[in-house]
Every structure is written in C-alpha cells, then in structure tokens.
Structure 1
C-alpha cells in the first residue's frame, strides 16, 4: 500500500507537517506495512515557508502597524523564501478587531525582499496570505527603493486567490476590520495606486487575476516585474507531489476548514485535482467541513470527536478522524 499524505495547515492548531504526522499514525495502524510519503502542502499563505524548507533566518522589520517585528525567512544558497504574514500578518496586528485597515502597511514585506536580494538571492519566492493591509503594495515598494523594477525571474509571488487588484478591499477588507465605508475608501485608494504603478512601471494590474492578494501587494510586485503564480501548484511542483502520486494507492489531504473555496486555489483542492487526474483515491480530513463541501471521502474532525476535543487535542483528534476515514476503505 502506497500512501501520500499532503495536508495543509490546520490554522491555529496544527502545522501541515504536524497534521500529516497525525494522519500517518492512523495509516500505520490501518496498514502496518504501508509505504508512506509525507508532503506538507501550502498555497502561498502562512505555512508556505515551512512547506518550502522552513526558516533559517530571522530579522527585524516593520510590522503591519508600524511597530518592529521579528520575521522568519529562508535563504538557501541563492534562493530565498519569505511570507507576507511573517512581516505584515493580521495576527501581528492583533487580529481583525485590533487592526487599522487604513494604516496597515506592507513595508515589512518589502524589507524582507530587500534583505533577501541584498544577501545575494537570485530568486525570491514570496508567499501572500494572512495579511493585515490593503495598501496596494505601496509600503513594500517604498521599502524596496531602487531594487525595483525586478529583473525577470528574480521574484516569484505565490497566491491562493484569483481576486483582481481593485477588488482586494471588497473581497478581503471586512476580514481585516474594514466596515463598508472603509472598504470604499480602500477601493478608491487601490484605483489610485494602480494608476501610479501603471505610470511608473508600464503595467496596468487593475483587472489582472491574482493581483489582489495581500491587499494588492501581489499586484504591485507584478507591476514591478515579479511573476505571480498559483501558490498551491508551485509548492506541489517543488515538493514533487505529482511524482509522488504516480503509483500511489491513496492520498490524504485536509486543512482546518474545508469548504467550496478549498477547491479553488487552495492546497487541498490542488491535491484533489492531481489525484483525480491520476486516478488516485483521495480522502479529505478537515477540522470542520462546510455544507457546500460535503462529499464522499470528506471527514470532519469536529464531527468525529467533538469540537472541544478537536481544539484541545488536535493531533490526536486528527489521528482518530483519519482512522475513521480509513476504516471505510477496503483492504
């Protein structure tokens, strides 16, 4: 029995690797001789750094509300990986209620990219996601100074959304603490930013898919010469997920909250698409499952063990839920 285990993080409880290890325990119990390949997944949001090798550096940069923060990132020879959430994350701002959606800045992300370039990185992979700001990338571009525009292939931006630049506030503003009036103010500012980036770099990003990630930061970086790609597809390719699935009998994936959006650009959705294309049986083990995502082979941890246990003992809860899912699969 060859089993590939490729979950995303269970946000707030387990990293992708921790979730995978819990699932692996259940697989070993079910099939002691199973050949298991663990591939932690991510889609460009927080958890991307871990999936692409983990941090080996920490530096002080500007946080989302202007206060200094220590941000983890990775430099391996001439390749770097950073996460926007590490410098400008909503969690660093204190969450939705404590955030200042107008003042929140992407400057720290620009500082991380600058640190990577100045350290000799010839390629910087920047994950978008979990951000506090909707500043159109202005803070990041200010921090980068004369390092922009980028040379082709120098910066690759990973996103998990196809939202366009000028829709960033309408789609994500509320979860960053913006009310209806603030969303309109932010949208107007994004329109102004887009005009300025087009005049400065010669690229109009207003309606380009994926440019609304991280409050428009992905669009600003695209205008400045970065490449913007599907984050889950990039992580899967680097991790060798497609190759691992060839000849596999089963793939397990999952995340903290599984819903219809999980199938559109998120890590588990990409795993499921690759499994379907390769004819590999797939099982989803998720913390909670929305009604619009219920299907055969999709198991909710909260429904198996109860919501309290799912949060208090997340690894054990995932193991138990995985065992329940595997019990439904024939030998």
Structure 2
C-alpha cells in the first residue's frame, strides 16, 4: 500500500480541489473546507501556472473566510522549491485573516517522489500567522525549520523519506507551549535523514512541550534505537498516543519498549509496518490490551536477502 496519499482533510475540514479554469463546480463556503490548490505542469491542456491559480482563487473565494489551505503541486518540483509558496502565504497574511491550518507539499508518487519535493524554510508562515494552529509539510529536501516561538500552534507534522537533523533540532529548540500533536517521519540517511536519538533528547526529556499528547517518530531506519530511548523517556508519561510505525522496528526495539516504563495509560500505540515476530507481538498485546490500549501491529515491513544479509526498509524513502 502507499503511505503517501493526497490529504483527505486538514484541521477537521474535508479537502476540496479548487476547480481548474473553465471547470463548472458549485463552490462551498470559504470556511467549510480545506482548499487544495495545485497545478499540473505536465498536462497537455495546462493553461494556468500557480501564480494564475493563486490570483484566481483570491478573486473567487472570500480569503477572509478561508480556514485551511492545502498546497499541492506548484510547478516542476525539482526546479521550484516551496519558497515561492511560503512567500505567497506571507504576503497574503492581511487577507487570510481566519487561516488556521496550512499543509505544503501535498504531492503523491505519481506527481513526484517524496525526495523530489524541494522544500525551503517554512517558519516564515508561523511568523506571519501568529494564530495558526496546524502546519504540515511533505518532503525533506531543502527543508529548514530554525527554532521558533509560537503560542497557538497545536499540530506540527513532517512527512519525509529523510528528515534533516537540522530540522529535528530546530523543532526541539522551539517554544511551542500549545503543541499537542507532533509527527516526524525521520526517514533514512541516504535521503538526508541524518537525525539521531541525541537530536530528539529535548523532546524525549518531557516538559519542553507541556501540552504534547501525541508523539509520532515514524518511518525511521533507527526505529529500534528510538524505541529503546522511549522506554525511559519522561515525555511518554504525558502522552495519550505514541506512533512508531513505518520504520524498521524489530523484536529488539519492541522488547526494550515493553521492558521500560508503563505504557498502560496510552489509548493507542501504533507499531504498523514492522519486523516483529508473532511471539513478541503476542507479548505486546497481552501486556497492553487488557488495560484498554489499542495496539496496531499490522502490515509487516518489506525485506529481502542478498549477499547473505537481511535488508529491511522503511515504508517511505525515495
């Protein structure tokens, strides 16, 4: 199955594709949907670039009512980074006065591999919208996230085949007192995912994000090391849900996690796409499900053998 799909909703609002030029569709109220803005630079009948789409959107939909924007393909991804999108959002801050959520890079494999999406420094969006509650980004290439202060951000997510350690350190050094949901796809070193457990330490130590209730450290080739660190990490006590899915998680990591601090206070533990034996999976279920913890151990991960060695893969890389 593909783990990179177009968003179906953002901030609790259904995603709605803003119509192409000449397409007749009844439009919803400005604040009733998450507006998906995207162009197809390869389409034979493409007559509009993203600048034209952006201007037409503002001329058609009342920007003062827009609550959520999903930015899809804005051009050829390997030629144009997201700095132009960030700047457009910054320039529109006096018009998008109700904006609560932004997602940048809603591209699927048919449009571009995740590593082809050229990102940029996305923190100016947070500076421009001090009341923004949700920011999501897909693609780690060129992504930057220097430490920021933001009082109202509640959800922050990064989907990448390789998330730069610099980004992880920037998040960990940020002051986000309202942050409840943090998700990071750490990825693999081959595609820029060079973060280590030490980079996560300010987050794992607990209290740095006092409102944090969900932590997702996903899609990592060092998933066992992360699980072992979480076994004693103070942050776990404040969580309601923990997501270690999509990575290279084995019996070693799960056994370390299970042998650490209690997890029975969680409502949900996501261990999908793993390399865990049936015996260890049964131990996890027996330990946690009687306490009401929903445990997901579905989707065995992909592996192969060559040169006498077993090679295991994260769900998303290139």
Which has the larger helix fraction?
1
Same fold by TM-score greater than 0.5:
no
TM range (shorter): 0.3 to 0.5
Name the TM-score, length of structure 2 as normaliser.
0.34
Q: Which structure's relative contact order is higher, taking Cα pairs within 8 Å and 6+ residues apart?
A: 1
Name the TM-score, length of structure 1 as normaliser.
0.33
